[in-house]
Amino acid sequence: VASSAAKSEEVSDTRARLIDAAVALFIRNSVAGTSLQMIADELGVTKAAIFYHFPNREQLLLAVMEPYLEQIRETVHAAERRRSAAARADAMIRGYAALSARNRELGTVLAFDAHVTKVLSEHDEWSSLIRRQLALLVGDTSDRSATIKAHAVFRGLAGAATAAPDDMDEDELRGHLTDVGRRMWGLRATRRRSAPDPQPMSRSGGTDD
């Protein structure tokens, strides 16, 4: 059992390290600017090693995105369980802020890369996830400005995360992002860790406090 476990750890070790190397290079050079050769070189292996663990380039990209998309999935699921539309929106904003704060660099790369967007749109599961994520803010009203505002929230939060100074920790960053996101959406902002806002608001806790 021990040797088998050790073996399977080793087995998946290279796979995990390949993903890590890919992440690092995606951040440095963007997705399109990173070749399989560069990833292999980063680990000191050959390209063939990559093709052993992944059938092709796209599957490697998907594997890189998986943890990030999983976080989105959880956030969407949690938000969808809220009862009021306002609570759903607030949960989504807080969740997306937390998610962006947690994946400071990779998040921006994945959120804005054209190739990533295209790949996601071709996988039904992911594209429907994106739609549900949007629907949590927009609702099903045909408010002409809602879609625009919702996009502004998502792109704004994702884009702002990379701009954070290096010495700002994840919690503070998440606080700021939640703040901006709520304000964009028309909610009043709660200042975390500072003097709490006395005004009552649609309280719908979960990830905060």
Q: What is the dihedral of CA 195, 87, 73, 176, to 10 degrees?
A: -20
Binders in 163-192 for its own copies, by CB under 8 A: 163-165, 168, 172-173, 176-177, 179-180, 183-184, 186, 192
* SS3 category, 150: helix
Six-digit token string for 30: 């963007």
82-121 positions binding its own copies, by CB under 8 A: 109, 112-115
Question: Which partner from the list its own copies, DNA, none does 46 bind, CB cut-off 5 to 8 Å by kind?
Answer: DNA
> Under DSSP, is residue 200 helix (H, G, I), strand (E, B) or coil?
coil
Query: Tokens 């629907």 sit at which residue?
Result: 135
User: Token pair 């992911």 is at which residue?
Assistant: 126
Helix, strand or coil, per DSSP, at residue 164:
coil
Q: Tokens in use for 18?
A: 């390949």
In the complex with DNA, the residue whose CB is nearer, 61 or 93, is: 61
Give the position of tokens 């190739």: 115
Nearer to its own copies (CB atom), residue 81 or residue 114: 114
Residue number with CB closer to DNA (51 or 112): 51
Interface ranges with DNA (CB under 7 A) = 3, 7-8, 10-12, 14-15, 34-38, 40, 44-49, 51-53, 55-58
Asked whether the beta carbons of 32 and 113 are under 8 A apart, the reply is yes
Partner interacting with residue 29 (select from its own copies, DNA, none; CB below 5-8 Å by kind)? its own copies
**Could you list the residues that contact its own copies (CB under 8 A)?**
29-30, 32-33, 109, 112-115, 144-145, 147-160, 162-165, 168, 172-173, 176-177, 179-180, 183-184, 186, 192
